[in-house]
Structure 1
């Protein structure tokens, strides 16, 4: 069938957002908006090469889109210092990144995406318009803060043809992103210009903190026949690197001296005063090994029918070892008077020194935690069909399945008392590490060892779906009508079926091999704290645990309290009208969503009056099953008006919806019958519904130039925050139903208001700059902060490119933001910025050499809690990537 080019331009975003859509390209980068229902010969072929051309194509796509989007093309990924998709997206206006999803602290690679000052869970990530199973390697992300965001550490930049950030919604977009969505578009075989194409890269990454160099390999082969009716593409990647993170953590936060503590008798002025609990020197090392690939098949049995089969797999082994050498303040501060000269400021004991007391139980405590088999993997398989039924009607359909798995098969944990001769500290604010010391620390020692911890966690995130999308093509003002349906069956489950019995490993560790912290440990953090620290090697710890504890697979070490299973069946129907005039386009539609939830988890029992359903050495538990149904009609409308040849006005309004985090819905219930208080998840949470308004003005004042201003507003109904509620539970000591004051996630309301300014301009033939700034004002009811909301975010980059050389430098900054709850305290990450650069040389027509440098400013990531107390400091060092790229 034949479609007018004006319709094609107005439908770019719709084409990008659906299964069966494609992004045409030659070798690495040809980006044109092409729906599978359209005949390829009707499309202009645009070959995009280099930074300047890819920016031009990205701006053209943004300009012609029917809704407000940001676009990054494959050449952007290739030319920016970026090694997963999140690294690239962080430079776009309104986009923020974080390098962790729970409370594990920040690393050197961007892992989560959030839009316009909201939680990553409110930003949906799609691949070719469909969902992808999420997976995490870190245990806290697996079981503690289980959100709905996707880990970008499993999505290497090599698979990307184009990434589209949708800031406004349309009825035909898959629901799930209250703040917006990111659609990662892969390459398709029939879109390559040549019959045979091949690309590859051989390189290495040098990480300066661990001082290691590791390989980076990728390859692509594409074949299509002369008739352009069959194509096959295969991609593969293997990437390895070592991480070292130097840190300081105040593991226990700040504790309070009570009137009943022994020290209150000698020092009554310390009653109610806070002190740092367990400040520690933290040495974390990890080896990440990421490998996988993508296979795409396309066939055109006729001019009217296109079939596609796609399979993707990414597997990351993430063995890690964390050592935390701590001042055991909780063991002596409540019991012992500090030496004269201690300082209390604003209710905090900011400086104190302690002499050794007779028969003191210990002033230092040391944890060593090895997770040699931590891993995460994800993948999907889809089958697509695009059929031009007639000149008036086209259809696209897809069936698919995806599964992500995060696992921690083993935790080897040992703890030792280290130091019995006193110590002290000095708190220096949230921007500086805590100075602390131990007098005459002991070690290597086997005093007070124990081993514990879950030996196996398995977390599964999977979905099966089918879609049917239809387009009726009209004439005149009503250019087309889109309508269709989607059904999905999604399951998230956490399993902890067995563990090991604690064993006495003191004898096994006596005389075992030891190592020491690097000589330059902590130099990037500043301050004064122990750095010359010993540790048992990872192998020694593993051998000691294996030889002195028994893995129990008989159910005795089944940790029911950490397990849950959430199943969601989702049916969606939509209809959307698309309109156009001489200088304008618009769309408006409705999406109906119906979700049925089946939530299963366990409630711990503290007594014997209630007969437990299951028992283990972790306690007695009751099975709990809750079932909910949620339905909602989501309206949306977008309007684009070309004021003149260079000036575009956009207006948009919509309602969008996201389900609450999995861990919020199914967190375990823990109750105290003594105080009638407790903590809990909340399976009664309603979906988060956002009412959104967006207005933007885009001035394309020169070729590859843009100056734009956007204003946005989100009113979040049923936003999830933490609060307290009076809830009725069975008292498991007497069997009676009684009221408990429970801390749990609750529905509230929130709002986000903000503005974005973006500027891009070339200077002459070879130079150019890009800059953007986002301001966000966000809060929940009661003045509480919203997760992920940085008030100020900005990016600045400059580039040079000619026929042989290119260079780019960029700086990204975001102000402090609320990270979530930590021990019932609000937990924040402080301001930080990162500097990156890249240079490239086109040595021949078939080979180029690139050098990318990340985190050149060697940033320190600081964390603090709501009352201004420091919480953690991390330094990850710099990374340098050298790659030789080949193409045929």
Structure 2
């Protein structure tokens, strides 16, 4: 009888590799049936770097589509603290440590594939979607994408991760560039009736010079008959984070020097960001087989990241100094930019100081699923799943004060290109609050933000096996999901004018100061020993002086709601004949969208408009709902040739889809009646459809050895970029004058559908050296651009990884270096900015103390990488934008395993 090949079958082959029995495959092994392999090898457990590597390669080789696979090993033998840290070492995978314009931190947060933005990569858990949240406020209300925050996904929960580089009809749509499927452990998969694991440790962060606790634990029980089991897993991790940096916040302003229009850095800031992160949660899974052919599984996951943070930015304020009588002296002008200059004279503040505390900032992700797997006959397998997932991101409070400083004190700067921070000076006393401008600057900051990301779904899958012929099975199924992302409420606080907020004498005089090594860690010469208030003092100041009226200060600009109802059905034929195997299929997807957004005038595009809604100090506004639907057939085909026992060739073609980012669809539209211009989102955006081609050849020259090369191409139809379009709005001023509704044309800057493409090459080399050593190296080249030769977000032309390891029965060690070249990162305010190339060095060491206890040390960011960003435009070329240093982290853990 012929049976389909599955990942389970591949896992069995992997176990044979691990046991040393697959030094070469022969015809006799190919005739071994799936059930016989299961019976023979059910008790084998994968542990260790070498075993994990062998299993991953065997799974990859056996798969009919192009995948990369990471299998779980003993925790602590791979330098990784979340799933993204692990994936960044695979060919074709990039990671970033931020999701909006907040700049990068020290933990990987987003995953992208093959030179594209993170929103084009679908992240799944056990084959289903997962609701996500973001702790940073700009990711909650301004740049709201489709990507998942991996800071909520600790590596401890993973059994294996499958990166799908080519599509199959059976995979949930949403990943135009590919999909990442995180597989968790199941109770009946454990080898022993009782399994218990625990890890107790601590993390030391060198910039804040602080140590925090770490804990994870797992308990699994199953009965002797292997028909019932329960697994409980928990994790609790705290960590102190400090980021030292420099930012050019206000971009580059213009002025005139000797009749020449020149640009100058507006606000150059010394930025100190501190945070306390606390990640906690767990997994619970109950699995039962009431009959031999029926398996039921109830699985739940919960993760919450508490992320209180405090950002201080002490800035030179060139534009305000010039506006208040200051005179600019340009010592050096290059490419119309004053690269070296000074300002003196005048009566205004030469500096501005923002202190922003965000207590209660947090993100959360959870899901609950119920699965049924019914083996109806030897030929028919039916599966069903219902589930719900919720993600939240919240900023309940922002305690903020903005202060003018250094009145008439003078300033200067000297730029050092895009690779080094700007040297700058600011007169006056920056070590104490005595330099506060006689009128405090401002009080701002959104309050009460709680963004919700939720989905409820039901799906049905079937597979019909065939006994004879080239067709091995037919897969089919359907799925319905209701998804919603929304931010229903926000208060933008301002100063309470009835209070004494403008009197410097009303503010505290006691303070703290920046760390003494702040300048030396960032590099460059600029003010040091900068004073700041504590978060508690900021809370007292805002409680006394801020206006947080929920009606008058309601900030409609950040309010949005996107609801989608997605229906999908698919059919996929799997085949195998001689050396050839693969699949061909089609997935049909229909999406109904209700997009709710605000505007300052009624939008003619909207299906319904409510308003004007009055009462907000920010003006009257309208609530618009745009409704539409679209459908698409997404074909896919994967062809694999087992040329011999060692050589595999692959070819694939498909069409894939990604829906537009939420902020692109539902961004608030602002229309200026005087200039008939504006900006905002675009509810008419079409989904991105990517036509993909992939080819690869793989040489498995040893059980732990691989040499492979591949090429890929993605033609991106309806990629989303920014541009201008003419839209009709109700002209409020003209309507008031005319006494009736008058609609006029406005030139609006909005996200627009354009086209794009990515072409790339992937090389991968994995080499075992004797019984105990091994090396890995891979390289990815990606060349991407959008219409008009504009850059694609997230495209690094060059990415490479190099790692080496040693492992015997008692000791293990691994060192890894990852590099990605510069890429277009997005837009901050009006500035298009790029992140420069960056490399990261990590290492792990471990010792097996007893059969049940081991000790490990993970070291992250060992080379203390500096994140560098620059702006770029056609007028003044490349100019420095931001620099950040996050320091190193060291994780020490004692692990127990029974």
TM range (shorter): over 0.9
**Matched ranges for 1:389-404 at <5 A:** 389-404=376-391
1:455 aligned residue: 447
Asked if 1 retains the 8 angstrom alpha-carbon contact of 2:831 and 2:871, the reply is yes
The structure 1 residue matched to 2:333, chosen from 330, 333, 344, is: 344
- Residue 70 of structure 1: CA displacement? 0.3
Q: Who is 1:120 aligned against?
A: 118
> Partners in 2 of 1:135 and 1:39 — Cα distance?
45
1:465 aligns with 2:462: no
* Whole-angstrom CA distance in 2 between matches of 1:627 and 1:674: 30
Give the structure 1 partner of residue 659 of structure 2: 659
Describe the superposition over 1:580-630 as per-residue Cα deviations: whole angstroms up to 9, x where unpaired: 0222211000100000000011102499xx961343122210110101101
Please point out which of 781, 788, 792 is paired with 1:775: 781
Per-residue CA deviation, residues 551-607 of structure 1 (Å, 9 max, x unaligned), is 424x22221221011100000000000000222211000100000000011102499
Counterparts of 2:334 and 2:123 in 1: how far apart (Å)?
46
Q: Does structure 1 residue 268 correspond to structure 2 residue 278?
A: no
- Asked if 2 retains the 8 angstrom alpha-carbon contact of 1:524 and 1:860, the reply is no
Query: Residues 418-471 of structure 1: CA distance to partner in whole angstroms, max 9, x if unpaired?
Result: 112111111111101111111123541453323222212110000000010000
Q: Distance in 2 between matches of 1:354 and 1:549?
A: 33
Alpha-carbon distance between aligned partners in 2 of 1:65 and 1:425, rounded to the nearest angstrom: 58
- After superposition, give the CA deviation of every residue in 1:255-297 in whole Å (9 maximum; x if it has no partner): 112xxxxxx4xx433x420000100000000000010010000
Question: Where does residue 847 of structure 2 map in the other structure?
Answer: 841
Partner of 1:377: 364
Match of residue 607 from structure 2: none
Q: 1:711 to 1:854 in 2, by over 3 A?
A: same
- CA deviation vs aligned residue, 1:860-879 (integer Å, no higher than 9, x gap): 00011113011100000000
Instruction: Tell me the distance in 2 between the aligned counterparts of 1:638 and 1:159.
Output: 30
The equivalences for 1:198-237 within 5 A come to: 198-237=196-235
After superposition, give the CA deviation of every residue in 1:745-790 in whole Å (9 maximum; x if it has no partner): 0000000000000000011111110000000000001001001000
Secondary structure in 2 matching 1:733:
helix
Structure 2 CA distance for partners of 1:227 and 1:41, relative to 1, 3 Å: farther
Per mean C-alpha deviation after superposition, the further-off stretch among 833-842 and 433-442 is 433-442
Aligned partners of 1:10 and 1:66 also within 8 Å: no
1:349–1:333 Cα change, 3 Å: farther
Give the RMSD, CA atoms, in angstroms. Answer: 2.2
Deviations 1:809-855 (A, max 9, x none): 01000000001122333211001000001100000000010001000
Q: Which deviates more from structure 2 when the two are superposed, residues 780-789 or residues 419-428?
A: 419-428
Long gaps (5+) in structure 2: 19-33, 604-609, 736-741
How is 1:254-653 mapped onto 2 (pairs within 5 angstroms)? 254-257=252-255, 264=256, 267-269=257-259, 271-333=260-322, 336=325, 338=327, 342-357=331-346, 360-420=347-407, 421-441=409-429, 443-445=432-434, 446-447=436-437, 448-449=439-440, 450-475=442-467, 476-498=469-491, 500-503=493-496, 504-505=500-501, 506=503, 510-553=507-550, 555-605=551-601, 612-653=612-653
Look up the match of 1:878. 888
Q: Cα distance, 1:688 vs. partner?
A: 0.2
* Structure 1 residue 76, shift from structure 2 partner: 7.5
SS in structure 2 of the partner of residue 630 of structure 1:
strand
Alpha-carbon distance between aligned partners in 1 of 2:751 and 2:589, rounded to the nearest angstrom: 24
Q: Distance in 2 between matches of 1:272 and 1:546?
A: 44
Partner of 1:72: 70
- Structure 1: distance between partners of 2:138 and 2:144: 8
Deviation for aligned residue 1:729: 1.3
Is the 8 Å Cα contact of residues 490 and 569 (structure 1) preserved in structure 2?
A: yes
In the alignment, is the contact (CA less than 8 A) between 2:514 and 2:531 conserved in 1?
A: yes
Q: Counterparts of 2:543 and 2:202 in 1: how far apart (Å)?
A: 35
Alignment of 1:238-257 (within 5 A): 238-257=236-255
SS at match of 1:146: coil
Q: Are 2:801 and 1:795 equivalent residues in the alignment? A: yes
The aligned length equals: 855
1:341–1:883 CA distance, 2 compared to 1 (3 A): same
Q: Is the 8 A contact 2:696 2:708 kept in 1?
A: yes
8 Å CA contact 1:614–1:622 kept in 2: the answer is: no
After superposition, the Cα gap between the structure-2 partners of 1:355 and 1:41, relative to the gap in structure 1 and judged at 3 Å, is: closer
Checking the alignment, whether the CA contact within 8 Å between 1:55 and 1:76 is kept in structure 2 is: no
Alpha-carbon shift at residue 158 of structure 1 (Å): 0.6
Whether the aligned pair in 1 keeps the contact of 2:433 and 2:509 (CA below 8 Å) is no
CA contact (8 A) 1:509 1:544 kept: no
| TM-score normalised by the chain length of structure 1 | 0.93
Judge conservation of contact 1:601–1:625 (CA < 8 Å) in 2. Answer: yes
Q: Does the 8 Å CA contact 1:77/1:88 hold for their aligned counterparts?
A: no
Closer, same or farther: CA 200–405 of 1 in aligned 2, 3 Å: same
Correspondent of 1:868 among 861, 878, 881 = 878
SS at match of 2:554: coil
SS of the residue 2:55 aligns to: helix
Contact kept, 8 Å, 1:133 with 1:462, in 2: the verdict is yes
TM-score normalised by the chain length of structure 2: 0.92
> What secondary structure, in the 3-state scheme, does the structure 1 residue paired with 2:52 have?
helix
Q: Give 1:719 deviation, angstroms.
A: 0.3
Q: Distance in 2 between matches of 1:804 and 1:11?
A: 31
- Give 1:11 shift: 7.2
Contact 2:199/2:895, CA 8 A, preserved across alignment: yes
> SS at the partner of 1:384?
strand
Within 5 A, what are the aligned runs for 1:731-810? 731-735=731-735, 736-810=742-816
Match of 2:697 in 1: 697
CA–CA distance in structure 2, aligned partners of residues 580 and 10 of structure 1: 17
Secondary structure, counterpart of 1:682 in structure 2: coil
Secondary structure of 2:538's aligned partner: helix
Counterpart contact for 2:716–2:756, Cα < 8 Å: yes
User: SS at the partner of 2:578?
Assistant: coil
The 1-side partners of 2:110 and 2:252 are apart by 29
CA distance in 2, matches of 1:81, 1:509: 50
Q: Tell me, in whole angstroms, the C-alpha distance in 2 between the residues paired with 1:341 and 1:170.
A: 60
The answer to whether the 8 Å contact 1:606/1:619 transfers is: no
**In the TM superposition, what is the alpha-carbon distance from 1:547 to its structure 2 partner?**
2.5
Equivalent pair of 1:513/1:537 in contact (CA under 8 Å):
no
For 1:827, the equivalent position in structure 2 comes to 833
8 Å Cα contact 1:373/1:410 also seen in 2: yes
User: Tell me, what secondary structure is at the counterpart of 1:868?
Assistant: strand
1-structure distance, mates of 2:75, 2:716: 33
Comparing 333-342 and 136-145, the one that deviates more: 333-342
Partner of 2:719: 719
